[in-house]
Amino acid sequence: MSSVASTYKIILWSKKNLFSSWINTLITILTIYFIYEVSFFFLDWAVFKADFLTNFRGERIIDRTFCSKNIEPGSYGACWTIIHVRFYQFMYGFYPAAEVWRVNLVLFLLPFALVAIFFDKIPFRKYFLYFTLVFPFIAFYLLYGGPSLTTVGTNKWGGLLVTLFLGVTGIALAFPLSIALALGRKSNMPVISLLCVIFIEFIRGVPLITLLFTANFMLPLFLPEGASPDNLLRALVAVTLFQSAYMAEAIRGGLQAIPKGQIEAARSMGLTYWQSTRKIVLPQALRISIPPIVNTSIGLFKDTSLVLIIGLFDLLGIGRAALADMSWTKLYYEVYVFVAIVFFIFCFAMSRYSLYLEKKLRTDNN
């Protein structure tokens, strides 16, 4: 019975929302037709007419000349073999194959390090949080090497590894920095507040790409002669500073939403500024600012692709390198669509998480 009722509900809903007037009906039909055409065309290209490992004659594709679309006139399906051939590089860059288990182990452990941050009602959360704290050291040791592990220089890192490294590390390092900046901006001490305002407004007033160039060319000038910090580190500094300014503004919004009475109550009981900030103000302010923080994080995650400008091979950089290979050149759509899909998966996950949080915050406050 309930399925009949729900079908009836759907019909009622469509009648009310999709076909309430002739113009509404027209728009509905045109939109459905448009969605159908676009998705059909895309699926046709990406799946039905596409080559994966073999072409339409059943031959193994070994370079671009074997792709169906380059043999058969009028054929237009995607030739995904380029992704297959370059998949290792897309994921790890030029990381030595013998050591790649280290990257895989880090990627496997990453969710365990994040889960306690993302969800506050999981069993054994305290232990997960301890793991979160030690994870950066484990990850660095595994990725870079150290005692009893061969060193893999960051010039060998690439692909999704670099994208995730810059995104996750940049966001993680920017977080404490941004709290300090947000509190500093609201400080009663004019010098501190002015410094924070100048820093935040300067960073926000400059494109990330400028910061990347600056970090790349100017960081060596501040360091002792001969010490050349590695390229990835330079990019990480730029990305972290950039993200911290945006996050600081998100957190400042949260701080402003805390009623003055909260601080007065805390101070009137004898709590110091730091105690009331840590126990009363920040827990409440951060909860409010999580959705905007996630939003800026999505932005940053995508912006990490700009590092290809300073010669790093992130996911997009590897894609460009693949296209430069003479035997696979001109397969632009395949490469860019693949890169877009990978970025989309991560950003969409973050955006869903942000929605989940907003809903949760709304119910928690009632």
Residues that bind other proteins (CB under 8 A): 259, 261-262, 264-272, 275, 279-280, 283-284, 287, 365-366
Q: What is the smallest separation between the CB atom of 292 and other proteins, expressed in angstroms?
A: 19
5 exposed, middle or buried (CB, 10 Å; 0-12, 13-18, 19+)?
exposed
Residues 351, 202, 244, 240, Cα dihedral to 10°: 100
Q: What is the smallest separation between the CB atom of 117 and other proteins, expressed in angstroms?
A: 17
Decide whether 210 or 256 has the Cβ nearer to other proteins. Answer: 256
Decide whether 21 or 188 has the Cβ nearer to other proteins. Answer: 188
Decide whether 60 or 121 has the Cβ nearer to other proteins. Answer: 121
Decide whether 98 or 269 has the Cβ nearer to other proteins. Answer: 269
Q: What is the smallest separation between the CB atom of 282 and other proteins, expressed in angstroms?
A: 10
DSSP 296-310: HHHHHHHHGGGGGGG
User: C-alpha angle with apex 277: 276 to 278, nearest 5 degrees?
Assistant: 95
Closest CA to 88 of 149, 160, 162: 160
166, 307 contact by CB (below 8 A): yes
198, 190 contact by CB (below 8 A): no
Q: What is the smallest separation between the CB atom of 264 and other proteins, expressed in angstroms?
A: 5
Decide whether 147 or 259 has the Cβ nearer to other proteins. Answer: 259
Decide whether 60 or 362 has the Cβ nearer to other proteins. Answer: 362
Helix (H) / strand (E) element for 212: namely: helix 208-222
Decide whether 226 or 261 has the Cβ nearer to other proteins. Answer: 261
Q: What is the smallest separation between the CB atom of 260 and other proteins, expressed in angstroms?
A: 9
Decide whether 226 or 259 has the Cβ nearer to other proteins. Answer: 259
DSSP 133-147: HHHHHHHHHHHH-BT
Residues 47, 52, 55, 59, Cα dihedral to 10°: -150
348, 84 contact by CB (below 8 A): no
SS3 157: strand
SS3 270: coil
Bridge partner residues of 54 (DSSP): 60
- Can you tell me which residue has the tokens 């300073």? 310
